[in-house]
Amino acid sequence: MSESTEYHPGLYEPIVLVIGLALALFGAIIGMELICRVGINPNTSIIGALIAIAFSTIPVQFARRMRNVHRVNLMQTVISGATFQAGNVFLLTIAVPYLLGLTEGTYFYGVVLGVLIAGVVDILFAYWIFDSPFYPARNPWPPGIATAEAIKAALSRGKRALLLLYGMIFGGALTYLGYPGDVVGITLITQIVAITSFGIGLILRAYGPTLVGIDFYKIYAPQGIMVGAGIAALIQFLLLYFRVRRKHSTQGTSGATTSIPPTLVGASEALRKLLMALILFIAGALVAGLISGVSEMMSPSMFVLWFVYIGFQAWFTTLICALSGMYAGWFPAFATALASLVISLLFGWPPLAAGIGVAYVAATGPGMADLNYDLKTGWILRGEGKDPNFERSREEMAILR
């Protein structure tokens, strides 16, 4: 295969690095502020992209360099990553030990280290597994599509840019009036089955107590459904893996030229990355447990069960969030972490050990889903996988955020 001749800018270019650092700081402030005030974070990708494009209109040479679709892609990746990493992954998770009174000493530092490890593995896992048979780039990833189309429209300065402006005004007006404008936009992009299921869940959550006298949230029905869906997803992963292997084997023996839709990451490599991520999550849980003192709260055998379970649950949460984000554009990160906490308490572990574990698990999921949205954006902007060599240059530096 020939080498790609198209140049992909790097994150360490002076102009890209300076603007990237500014956007990362801005995104981190937004993420922490909104987590503290309303408990949720928006996807700031489009904001970062529009800031970069606006900067490129300054009539000086170095500013015009930002009028490059790949540099804009890097900038929106940086700001959205900073938003979710600072708010969801770091601030939200260290609030758990704080509320438990673990504000000093090895307890707190163990949690912080565990959160950092889990967050880094989460991002690496997203980079490893995107555009594999398990998480194909051709699947919806709705926020990624929205950001890519917004970037193309803003750079075109034509009718598409005008339509983007109208959409922004409409979405802003809805949000100002108290309606979820971002959700309205997502429904126009995402898969119809996924968003219909999401809507049914919202209706049951809101009107269940009135219509049937059952508060589904209080009986942990959502968490149970997600755990069941996750188990089914794991089975589907294995079935898909064997099906892909069988098809490749059949093609190799028959000499057929037809093939399944290609992905950048093959089935065998994807499965190896799944296992590698599981090992890393378990190792991170072991380190967090040793430093935070969980190992001193229980017997050695129970501690082994603790860090293996917490590591597995972190891995499991990541898979669920990515799967949900791929189809619906929304990921239930903290809900799955809450489900892991309930199971931890059933094991009879001390409350502090269960709290440290849920903080570790809660650090996984947002990074995976968010980076996959950005990778989807880049995949579209780079021609939807038409050049595999060029595709391998996707946001490789921005994953470091």
Cα 303 to Cα 93, 102, 271, 354, distances in angstroms = 21, 19, 28, 11
Domains: count for the chain? 1
The answer to whether residue 135 sits within a structural domain is yes
pLDDT of the residue at 310: 95
pLDDT classification of 277: cutoffs 50, 70, 90: very high
Backbone angles phi, psi at 361, to 5 degrees: -65, -40
**Measured between alpha carbons, how far is 187 from 190 in angstroms, rounded to an integer?**
6
Those residues whose C-beta lies under 8 Å from the C-beta of residue 39, and which sit 6 or more positions away, are none
Report the chain's C-alpha Rg in angstroms: 22
- The Cα 166–Cα 63 span in angstroms is 27
pLDDT band at 158 (very low <50, low <70, confident <90, very high): low
Nearest to 398 by CA among 10, 90, 8, 6: 10
On the CB side of 216, CA atoms within 13 Å amount to 17
Whole-number Å distance between alpha carbons of 317 and 361: 7
Q: Considering the domain boundaries, does residue 76 fall inside one?
A: yes
What is the band of 398 on the pLDDT scale with cuts at 50, 70, 90? Answer: very low
Average pLDDT over residues 243-254: 61
What range defines the domain where residue 175 resides?
14-400
Q: What's the confidence (pLDDT) of residue 286?
A: 96
Whether 3 is covered by a domain: the verdict is: no
| pLDDT above 70 coverage of the chain, percent | 81
Task: Indicate whether 8 belongs to any domain.
Answer: no
pLDDT tens, position by position, 358-395:
999 989 988 888 889 999 998 998 888 776 666 655 54
Q: Is residue 244 part of a domain?
A: yes
Report yes or no on 4 lying in a domain.
no
Predicted local distance difference test score (pLDDT) of residue 395: 47
Predicted structure pTM score: 0.79
Question: Rounded to 5, what percent of the chain is helix, strand, coil?
Answer: 75, 0, 25
DSSP 130: T
In a domain, 163, yes or no: yes
Read off the pLDDT of each residue in 154-182 and give the average, rounded to a whole number.
77
What token pair was written down for 282?
Answer: 């378990």
Over the stretch 193-203, which tens digit does the pLDDT of each residue have?
767 877 888 88
Q: Does residue 37 fall inside a structural domain?
A: yes
